[in-house]
Chains A and B, each alone.
Chain A
Amino acid sequence: MSLLSPKEVKLLTNPLNIDNPITTQVLGICSALAVTVKLKPAFVLAISVIAVLTIANVVVSLLRNAIPNRIRIIVQLVVIASLVILVDQVLKAYVYDISKQLSVFVGLIITNCIIMGRLEAFALGNKPWPSFLDGLGNGAGYGVILLIVAFFRELFGSGTVWDYPVFENIGLYSIGYVNNGLMILPPMALIVVGIIIWIQRHYSRELIEK
């Protein structure tokens, strides 16, 4: 007897693969790419988004029968904005340096389209438990892409992984290797995501656009 039914497992794993919020649904790119210069801030942002998305999904799902259809957007925005304020205060209290690095991007979680998108598409029509799983899955799918992009940008741009100097320790610099400064610039995040999409669609042919 497994803990989750097959349908519930799908809710969790689909966003990690063929239904990824960034590469397939094209949601939430706004706040995602600017923070991926290093792994640490990307990780913190990913955790924040997972927290906000999961809780917002559950809250809206609990309220779904009480929210009048006409004003649902503003209700959702208020729920999200209050959660983001909480996250922002927690980050400021415990990881102040990273919260400074993330600057406006914590606030921008409010307008992160993933959260609005999932609330509209899922939480408004489903019970709290599936909504919780959906939030967790989509948040994780978003986080995975963020971490992949950040890993490559940090590795090639600064030669480190999680601030650990990999290239220096294996002696690449002494044989003349130079960090690729281009990877630190914002446009490279787009190109890295473009390549991830290319690779993913190469393996999942059904996603290819006509």
Chain B
Amino acid sequence: MEELLNIFTKSIFIDNMIFAYFLGMCSYLAVSKTVETSTGLGIAVIFVLGITVPVNYLIENFILKKGALDWLLGDAAASLDLSFLSFIMFIAVIASMVQLVEMIIEKVSPSLYAALGIFLPLIAVNCAILGGALFMQEREYSSIAEASVFGLGSGIGWFLAVVGIAAIREKLKYSNVPAPMRGLGITFIATGLMGIAFMSFMGIKL
């Protein structure tokens, strides 16, 4: 339990997807003009990361890893290593999960579907989602609970970052920014400063 809590806080604050690894920057910059849209995309990202990371964890550990197919083929598969296929598997899982999630939300909660709107399909090519799967693979989490907590935590970290920068950008509209810096330039600098602020969480352990 302690370990789970540790992974959770670590993935939100210390290994924050945006400030530490710059993942999902494209949509981060594109939608962060208003707090409202960024909240929508942020929730969608939490949702999709929370689902795809555990699913990819299962695929990695029961199909792709060296010797992972033992449960199906017995000793014959002990030396079988399919991990070079992981990129294509992960992206296929993500693309299809996004599609599936979209259909389920449309059926179950039309109001949430209307709120998330165009953001859901966009998420398939959000680097944060694939990044979550690849980090999960690289860090070799020991159980599916750890992988899910990591996925959820990363999503929440991304959500916090995107809502934060959107609030700053709404305020920045009324500031006197040097002309060549307006828009993109100042957003980069503000993100950098936020990143430095987030670095103060470094080293925190629960």
A-to-B contact residues, CB < 8 Å: 23, 26-34, 73-74, 77-78, 81-82, 84-85, 88-89, 103-104, 107-108, 110-113, 116, 182, 185-191, 193-195, 197-202, 205, 208-210
Contacts and interface: CB of A to CB of B under 8 A. Distances in A.
Interface in B124-166: 124-131, 134-135, 138
Nearest to B129: A111
Contacts of B129: 111
B188 A190 contact: yes
Contacts of B92: 77
B129 to A, nearest CB: 8
A28 B192 contact: no
Secondary structure dominating the interface of B: helix
Contacts of A199: 180
A112 B87 CA distance: 13
B95 interface: yes
A78 B111 CA distance: 33
B186 interface: yes
Contacts of B130: 107-108, 110-111
B184 to A, nearest CB: 6
Residue of A27, A104, A108 with highest tally of chain B CB at under 10 A = A104
B181 A188 contact: no
B38 to A, nearest CB: 16
Contacts of A209: 182-184
Contacts of B85: 85
Given A190-B191, A191-B189, A116 B125 contact: yes
Contacts of A84: 87
Contacts of B192: 187-191, 194
A13 to B, nearest CB: 22
A199 B191 CA distance: 18
B127 A198 contact: no
B76 interface: no
A21 to B, nearest CB: 11
A103 B15 CA distance: 15
A186 B199 CA distance: 9
Contacts of B186: 194
B105 interface: no
